[in-house]
Amino acid sequence: MTAKLKKERNKILIAAVVFFALIILEHLGVFPRIFKSRPLALGLYLIPYLICGLPVIKKAFLGIKNRQPFDESFLMVVATVGALVTGENSEAAAVMLFYQVGEWFQSYAVGKSRQSITDLMDLAPDYAHVERGDQSIETVDPDDVKVGEVLVIKPGEKIPIDGTVLQGDSMVNTAALTGEAVPRSVHVGDAVVSGCVNGEGLLKIRADKEFEDSTVSRILELVEEASEKKSHTENFITRFARVYTPAVVLTAVALALLGGILTGQWMSWIYRACTFLVISCPCAMVISVPLAFFGGIGAAGRDGVLVKGSNYMELLARLDTVVSDKTGTLTEGSFEVREVLPAPGIERREVLGKAALAEGMSTHPIAASIRRELKNEDPDAQIGTALLSDTDIISGQGLIAHADGHKLCIGNARMMEAKGIPYIPASDRAATVSYVAEDGKFLGAILIRDQVKDEAGQVIASLKKQGIRSFVMLTGDRKEAAEAVGRDLGVDAVYADLLPQDKVSKVENLLIETHREDKRYLAFIGDGMNDAPVLMQSDVGIAMGSLGSDAAIEAADVVIMDDDLKRIPAVIRIAQKTVGIARQNIWFALLVKLLILVLGALGIANMWAAVFADVGVAVLCILNSMRLLLKKRYD
Amino acid sequence: MKKKFKCEIDCANCAAKVEDAIKKMDGVIDAKVNFMMQKYTLEADEARFDEILKESVLVGRKIEPGFSVEL
């Protein structure tokens, strides 16, 4: 609690004590003479009224001076003065008192949720240790570190700036950025990202960026800006408030005049008009709706998901189609040897060895995966590239290599058929199959496949449950392989053999299709490196595994810091909850206010009910909005 | 030059009012008062930045006495 809030609280408490003392005295009838005299009673109730209401009165005059009279302070003053004039002294003081209680609680609640969000986005480092030429260490503001300077990071300290490890080994904790609890190990030459917390080892890093351009600064900036990109709901509330307040005020005036003229009971109608003014403030919605979105963005941030604006929260809650890249997003993105199928009488080791030899000069990912597999199986294996005399690459088939007097063929089925080598076809359609033959004799087949991420199928299933109608997979990969993966995962449509520009036009078509129905949106999930145009083009661009990738953070609307697909259904759940809470608040506030307005006009609801419709509803809506921050994790 | 400061502002509406007034000041390129984050961002003429900054706080206070900036 800030000093300002404490002061306010004390004022309200004193006013409350005085007020209740007066009420009790009046009702006990101890001093009937005092309370029967109107000027004396008025004077007494003015004490608590002024103790807490003075700032409101000041603000009301300020509003008039600045030519913006229709603000809530002004309305409160008019309403309470009206009540005082009609002789409802205690009610006037009560309205002012509870109005201030409500205002205080709003500040407190907003401060509290702001605190919990800044706590969980507690990334910003306070200092950096710079090593100077003479080995001395100077502690400076991270802002003052220049590119190329050497920083010393002690165990347990935050890494202040993006850099490269020069010396030391350690485990760094990325939890604050990614929500991922398992630390990453870093060694000399590895890049480290600011905002991570160093583990047990002492690290020396070279600053690669200025503080301003480092990951931490950029993320904090995005979070700050996120609350400025307003959602439809927030804009609606702002527009609504602009109409609502003047409308209620005019109705109040009309009510007082008409009622007074028709019935002649001026006091009673002025009192009814004053209850209207108390309800005329739209604060409950004006504060609680942005607070709900703010809380949603904060809750997502805690899960390592950066949502770059309230508007995207709203779109996420109404997704219809999710389009995803395959390689690197739904799959691990690395080619691995999954299976070796030797021909009868041949050793597995020999197939791998000959294949590695034939591919010895190749930099193709398949060649690399074969070499890796050989090393895994036998760390001492020598590929013996020196034996290679010449290699011919046959486009669309494979390659032929001559080594040590033997002719090695490695390639697809077409190659085996072209060379007339009898081979045993492998049946796995998802894999890329390399057949290996030596001097026309079939040795075996090697199956290489990009592994589907463990959680992918489950994530697609939970997206479906969340109301996503179609999950589409796009890939530059072969049709057969793509369709096999698609079937495994339960994808609705697969578009394969796409060049980058094809992806853009495909997503364009899907967007048109999705938008055919109102309030239906499309999200694209990609790795952020190659998919920037598509990320920007879709309604919501979701970038995966973006820690340390500026391009991805720039292009995407929703940034998932680590590689975990499960964060996507989690952030959609947060978004749906956020939008739901915002909607509850709007309806609840509107209905209660409308009800009290009608009852007030009929003379059934008094000013106490009006205070509840104003302050009570605001407090309840704010509490409702804060629910989002209560839950620890959304998995 | 663009700089960020911590600030105190009581409500979203007040923040918008203060922001509008500061934006209209001479020498101010852009200004932002972020209620949720309680941050004040001022982009102004480099040569007169400090002067404009002080003046902008005064302008803001005139409209909203609850506005204060940690310089």
pLDDT in tens, chain B (71 residues): 888 888 888 777 778 889 989 999 999 999 988 887 788 999 998 899 999 999 999 999 888 888 989 87
Reported ipTM exceeds the 0.90 cut? no
Alpha-carbon distance A502 to A495, whole Å? Answer: 10
- The pLDDT, as a whole number, for residue A464 is 94
**Is the distance from CB of A223 to CB of A194 less than 8 angstroms?**
no
Range in A374-388, A513-527, A556-570 with the lowest mean pLDDT: A374-388
- Using CB atoms, pick whichever of A2, A224, A287 lies closest to residue B12: A287
Question: B65 and A58: CB-CB below 8 Å?
Answer: yes
Alpha-carbon distance A575 to A118, whole Å? Answer: 19
Range in A242-256, A335-349, A373-387 with the lowest mean pLDDT: A373-387
Cα-flanking dihedrals φ and ψ of residue B31, to 5°?
-145, 145
Alpha carbon of A181 to those of A235, A332, A594: distances in Å? Answer: 37, 20, 49
Cα-Cα-Cα-Cα torsion A392, A398, A400, A403, nearest 10 degrees, comes to 110
Tens digit of pLDDT for each residue in A473-511?
998 877 888 888 888 889 999 998 888 788 889 999 999
Tens digit of pLDDT for each residue in A379-438?
887 777 777 778 888 877 888 888 888 899 998 888 888 888 888 888 776 677 889 999
The 8 Å CB, 24+ separation contacts for B26-29 are B27/B52, B28/B52, B28/B56
Range in A85-99, A137-151, A241-255, A418-432 with the lowest mean pLDDT: A418-432
| Mean pLDDT value of segment A121-145 | 83
| pLDDT confidence band for A524 (50 / 70 / 90) | very high
Residues of B with CB below 8 A from A228's CB?
32, 34
Size of interface A-B (CB pairs under 8 A): 34
- The pLDDT, as a whole number, for residue A120 is 59
Alpha-carbon distance A578 to A232, whole Å? Answer: 13
Q: Whole domain around residue B25: which residue ranges?
A: 2-70
**Domain A128-157+161-213: which CATH class?**
mainly beta
| pLDDT confidence band for A548 (50 / 70 / 90) | low
Is B13 near chain A, with CB under 8 Å?
yes
- DSSP class of residue A325 equals E
| Mean pLDDT value of segment A16-21 | 92
Range in A363-372, A609-618, B54-63 with the lowest mean pLDDT: A363-372
Tell me if residue A318 falls in helix, strand or coil: coil
Alpha-carbon distance B58 to B32, whole Å? Answer: 15
Closest chain A residue to B60, measured at CA: A66
Is B30 near chain A, with CB under 8 Å?
no
The 8 Å CB, 24+ separation contacts for A345-349 are A346/A443, A346/A444, A348/A377, A348/A444, A349/A377, A349/A378
Check whether A334 has a pLDDT greater than 80.
no
- The pLDDT, as a whole number, for residue A152 is 92
Check whether A529 has a pLDDT greater than 70.
no
| Mean pLDDT value of segment A138-160 | 89
Share above pLDDT 90 across residues of chain A, in percent, rounded to a whole number: 23
Check whether A587 has a pLDDT greater than 90.
yes
**Is the distance from CB of A305 to CB of A635 less than 8 angstroms?**
no
Domain residue ranges of chain A, discontinuous segments joined by +? 128-157+161-213, 332-452
- Using CB atoms, pick whichever of B8, B12, B17 lies closest to residue A286: B12
Supply A429's token pair.
């359609």
Number of C-beta neighbours around residue A326 at 10 A: 26
pLDDT averaged over chain A? 85
Residues of B with CB below 8 A from A107's CB?
10
| B62 min Cα distance to partner chain A (Å) | 8
Pure H helices in A66-189: 72-85, 89-120, 175-178
Number of C-beta neighbours around residue A594 at 10 A: 12
Is B37 near chain A, with CB under 8 Å?
yes
Q: What is the CA radius of gyration of chain A?
A: 35
Into which CATH architecture does domain A332-452 fall? 3-Layer(aba) Sandwich (3.40)
**Is the distance from CB of A405 to CB of A390 less than 8 angstroms?**
no
Range in A116-120, A132-136, A559-563 with the lowest mean pLDDT: A116-120
Range in A257-266, A317-326, A340-349, A423-432 with the lowest mean pLDDT: A423-432
Is B34 near chain A, with CB under 8 Å?
yes
- The pLDDT, as a whole number, for residue A576 is 95
Instruction: Output B23 or A126, whichever has higher pLDDT.
Output: B23
Is A109 near chain B, with CB under 8 Å?
no
Report the sign of the C-alpha dihedral through residues A291, A293, A296, A302, in that order.
negative
- DSSP class of residue A343 equals P
In the numeric block, the tokens 């490890």 are attached to: A165
B57: domain CATH number? 3.30.70.100
pTM of the model as a whole: 0.79
> Which residues of A does the annotation mark as catalytic?
325
Supply A287's token pair.
């504060």
- The pLDDT, as a whole number, for residue A635 is 60
- The pLDDT, as a whole number, for residue A485 is 86
Tens digit of pLDDT for each residue in A220-233?
777 777 777 888 88
**Is the distance from CB of A277 to CB of A82 less than 8 angstroms?**
yes
| B8 min Cα distance to partner chain A (Å) | 10
- The pLDDT, as a whole number, for residue A430 is 67
| Mean pLDDT value of segment A61-83 | 81
Is A290 near chain B, with CB under 8 Å?
yes
Nearest-5° Cα angle at B15, B9 to B20: 140
Tell me if residue B68 falls in helix, strand or coil: strand
Question: A286 and B63: CB-CB below 8 Å?
Answer: no
- The pLDDT, as a whole number, for residue A634 is 62
- Using CB atoms, pick whichever of B10, B13, B34 lies closest to residue A228: B34
Report the sign of the C-alpha dihedral through residues A410, A415, A418, A422, in that order.
positive
Residues of A with CB below 8 A from B8's CB?
2, 4
Q: Where are the beta strands (DSSP E) in A18-106?
A: none
Q: A residues 268-287 near B, CB within 8 Å?
A: 286-287
**Is the distance from CB of A332 to CB of A615 less than 8 angstroms?**
no
- The pLDDT, as a whole number, for residue A588 is 94
Supply A575's token pair.
């978004």
- Residues linked to residue A170 through DSSP beta bridges, in sequence order: A186
Q: How many domains does chain B have?
A: 1
- The pLDDT, as a whole number, for residue A76 is 86
Alpha-carbon distance A564 to A178, whole Å? Answer: 10
Tens digit of pLDDT for each residue in A259-297?
989 988 888 898 888 888 888 777 777 778 888 888 888
Supply A616's token pair.
């009570």
Q: Which range is most confident: A63-72, A233-242, A358-367? A: A233-242
Supply A564's token pair.
């975990």
Check whether A375 has a pLDDT greater than 90.
no
Range in A1-5, A485-489, A571-575 with the lowest mean pLDDT: A1-5
Closest CA to A324 of A457, A431, A512: A457
Question: A114 and B38: CB-CB below 8 Å?
Answer: yes
Longest Cα–Cα distance of chain B, Å, equals: 32
- The pLDDT, as a whole number, for residue A107 is 81
